[in-house]
Amino acid sequence: MHCHTFFSFNAYGHSPTSVAWLARRRGWKLVGIVDFDVLDGVDEFLAACTALGVRGVAGMETRVYVPEFATREINSPGEPGIAYHMGIGFTSGRVPEGVQPILAGLRARAAQRNRDMAARINAYLSPVAIDYDRDVLPLSPGGNPTERHMLIAYLWAAATRPDPASFWAGKLGLPRQEVEALIGDTPRLQNLIRARLMKRGGVGYVQPGPESFPTVDELHRLVVACGALPCATWLDGTSVGEQAIEELLGLWLERGVAVLNIVPDRNWNIPDPDLRRLKVRKLHEVAELARALRLPIIAGTEMNSPGQKLIDDFSVPELAPLHGAFMEGAWFVYGHTVLQRALGLGWGSDWAEAHLPSRPERNAFYQKVGRLTPPGRCGEARLADLRADMTPAEVLARIGG
């Protein structure tokens, strides 16, 4: 339920339509896309899911500033007060006029961060340099490049050097033989260069502050205005902020968060056995807390880094006990999406608040809608018979019929 497309970065080049086709070919019950800072793929993806008979949901991810945690690291490593955050259950990439500046601001901030980073890295890597407009922008179909696009551009630029291994060895401060061994291992080489140049401590990195990203409330205004669901994200429970998870989730619930997103692979697929045990324990603790708080969970491992799986292995012992909760969350967001798309009767609608005032009954209703609504044209036909004056029971009866 968390697949990036090439509108931000997909390590395998998948477009929104390609993700939908992948789900169709492999028989995935539900699939969700999430892109950084843009909604460019939403309409294409949902249209492809309808055409292919796939249950799909669409989201957006960004970073936000959280003043209540200004001195505590949350889920953006090394960046106190900064949190990765999402909206999920969008029905279109076209947003209401009143919140268009928020969406435009996300794109503009990201572009400026990238250009400033490229200038710093160019100075360090000289004589290797990239031209952002010429070498980076064309790599992103929607003109929304990420650090990973920039990384590819630098690798291509360095490949024109007489001895790329010696070049990278000198710039990264590593023995030539070590870099030589990595030249044929693209994922490891990319991750190493990104860590040394673009992440905290690297020459391209600048510590973000309160003005670097929107506030939580600003992002939520955009998400809610689009009829989507504010969505918190979990890293691995080891940061100071995530160790205060009850306080953090309490804050998110007060701000209107309706879903929790988890990237499973980084919580269990870890070589160090002690670290694995710690992170698995933290994963199960946050899942149990989310259950107690009636906060549905969605899960998926991104596809935005070379070497990641196309889909998580939910049968492994570390994830199998949570698979039911992950499926319930997926049905929930899909149920919200189809009702919001059909009649504007999603989880946060006035209709839902009037008919389903408590969180448990509202969550259960949208899970049922998700389970009952067939994908594709068949589902659209059933939804077309609905009316906004129906009760939840009437909606379920009509969809189930």
**H or E segment to which residue 64 belongs:** strand 55-65
* Alpha-carbon span 19 to 25, nearest angstrom: 10
pLDDT digits 0-9 by tens, 254-308: 999 999 999 999 999 999 999 999 999 999 999 999 999 999 999 999 999 888 8
Q: What residues does CATH 3.20.20 cover in the chain?
A: 16-95+226-384
Percent of the chain topping pLDDT 90: 93
Burial 58-72 (b: 16+ CB within 10 A, else e): bbbbbbbbbeebeeb
Backbone angles phi, psi at 290, to 5 degrees: -60, -40
The structure tokens 């190493």 sit at 192
Residue 151 has a pLDDT of 94
Q: Which two tokens stand for residue 115?
A: 């250009």
| 72 pLDDT higher than 80 | yes
Q: What number of other Cβ atoms are within 10 A of residue 246's Cβ?
A: 12
Residue 126 has a pLDDT of 96
Do 303 and 9 form a contact (C-beta atoms < 8 A)? no
Residue 183 has a pLDDT of 83
pLDDT digits 0-9 by tens, 300-344: 999 998 888 999 999 999 999 999 999 999 999 999 999 999 999
* Alpha-carbon span 74 to 78, nearest angstrom: 9
pLDDT averaged over the chain? 96
Residue 30's beta-bridge partner residues? Answer: 55
| 152 pLDDT higher than 90 | yes
Residue 186 has a pLDDT of 79
Residue 307 has a pLDDT of 84
Residue 82 has a pLDDT of 96
pLDDT digits 0-9 by tens, 340-383: 999 999 999 999 999 999 999 999 999 999 999 999 999 999 99
Percent of the chain topping pLDDT 70: 100
Residue type, position 176, single letter: R
Does pTM surpass 0.85?
A: yes
pLDDT digits 0-9 by tens, 212-234: 999 999 999 999 999 999 999 99
Q: Which two tokens stand for residue 121?
A: 């890295």
Look up the CATH architecture of domain 16-95+226-384. Alpha-Beta Barrel (3.20)
Find the largest Cα–Cα distance for the chain: 71
Q: How far is CA 264 from CA 137, 196, 202, 233, in A?
A: 31, 25, 27, 11
Residue 136 has a pLDDT of 97
Do 384 and 357 form a contact (C-beta atoms < 8 A)? no
Residue 185 has a pLDDT of 79
Do 59 and 36 form a contact (C-beta atoms < 8 A)? no
pLDDT digits 0-9 by tens, 91-112: 999 999 999 999 999 999 999 9
Do 150 and 136 form a contact (C-beta atoms < 8 A)? yes
Do 262 and 282 form a contact (C-beta atoms < 8 A)? no
* Alpha-carbon span 143 to 207, nearest angstrom: 25
**Is residue 401 very low, low, confident or very high in pLDDT (cuts 50, 70, 90)?**
confident
Q: How far is CA 140 from CA 5, 12, 299, in A?
A: 10, 13, 25
Compute the half-sphere exposure of residue 107: CA atoms within 13 Å on the CB side of its CA.
Answer: 15
